[in-house]
Structures are given as structure tokens and as C-alpha cells.
Amino acid sequence: MTRPPVALRTAALEQLLTERGLVDPAVMDRFIATYETAVGPLNGAKVVARAWTDPAYRERLLADGTAAIAELGFSGPQGEHIVVVENTPTRHNVVVCTLCSCYPWPVLGLPPSWYKDPAYRARVVREPRKVLREMGLDLPADVQITVRDSSAEVRWLVLPERPAGTESLSEEDLVGLVTRDAMVGVAKVAP
């Protein structure tokens, strides 16, 4: 027996909960709108693009990620203690939460399912180069990989390398290049 697609199951569950008075559709719509517009990877992309175009902001971001991110209006639950680390041609950072799925929601939105997967959480610590390669990121052997373990005390955000050839792009144009995966460190930003 095949199961209906997730979207159909979700709609059926929402309808059932609404009919029984357990869920207010207006509240659900506000939650969805929040995660579509106010919280998510677009916010992180704005942080990265600002750091790429404003050296003073970049310095503040690397010195105190939480405060610099708040300058752009992004804060809240799961965003209280964000430390930003920079990827360079010789050093690559990748983020994991080995205990659960601690994640900087205000700048990355909801964590992807692979981030919460026990296999990713265990393997990226033991064999980060191999896991990154499996995810499509093949780093040269001379690049040092540092695995950053997020927790309730510290949530990590990667400042990816700015791609070559983007020097003439505006901050707004750069935002469109930055992906959630690059800010977790499992991908690079493509020009």
C-alpha cells in the first residue's frame, strides 16, 4: 500500500486538528509566514553578503557573531549565542550538533533533515572529508577541516569564502548566491 504524499497528509492532519478546535489556522499561517520570511537562510545570506562587502562589519561579525547579526535585526530563540567562523582557501569549517540538532534558527531557519540524522552527526566528526565528498564538496588534501559542534551554549555559523569573480556584484546580488549549506560548511558558494 502506498502512502499519500507528505503535502496531502499534512493538509489532512491540519484539517482534522482545525475541525476539532485544536489548531487555529490563523496561528498556523503566522508560524508559516515567520519561517518563510522572518527566519531562515535568507537572513544568513544577508549577514554573509554584508560581511563580504563591509570589512568593518566582517570584523565585528567574527569578534561577536550574536551582536553583529543582531545589528541586521536577526535574533531570537536559538540565536542567542552564535559564533561565526570563516572559511579560507586553507581552512574549512563544517558544523554539526552531535547531541541533538542545535542550530542558529534566526539566520538559517529550520534545520534540514540530514543535519538531524544520526548518521551525519556521527560520521562528520569521524570522517568529515569523506562525508563532505559524499555531499558534493571535494576539498583538496591540503585544506584543514575543523568540525564545529553546536550546543545550547554555542551555535556556529560559517562565513563561506567569497567566490572569485564576484567583486563587481552588489551586496543584494551576493545574497542570492549564498546557500544554507555553505553557511553550515557542507558546500561552497558558487559564482
Residue (of 87, 86, 85, 83) closest to 102 by Cα position: 83
* Ramachandran quadrant class, 165 (left: phi over 0; alpha: psi -120 to 50; beta: rest): left
Show which residues are catalytic: 97, 100-102
Burial of 64 (0-12, 13-18, 19+ CB in 10 A): middle
Residues 86, 159: contact at Cβ < 8 Å? yes
* Ramachandran quadrant class, 156 (left: phi over 0; alpha: psi -120 to 50; beta: rest): beta
Residue (of 122, 126, 71, 106) closest to 183 by Cα position: 106
Whole-number Å distance between alpha carbons of 14 and 124: 36
Is 102 annotated as contributing to ligand binding? Answer: yes
Length of the chain: 191
Is 97 annotated as contributing to ligand binding? Answer: yes
Is 101 annotated as contributing to ligand binding? Answer: yes
Nine cell digits for residue 127: 570522517
Is 100 annotated as contributing to ligand binding? Answer: yes
Binding residues: 97, 100-102
Binding residues for Fe(3+): 97, 100-102
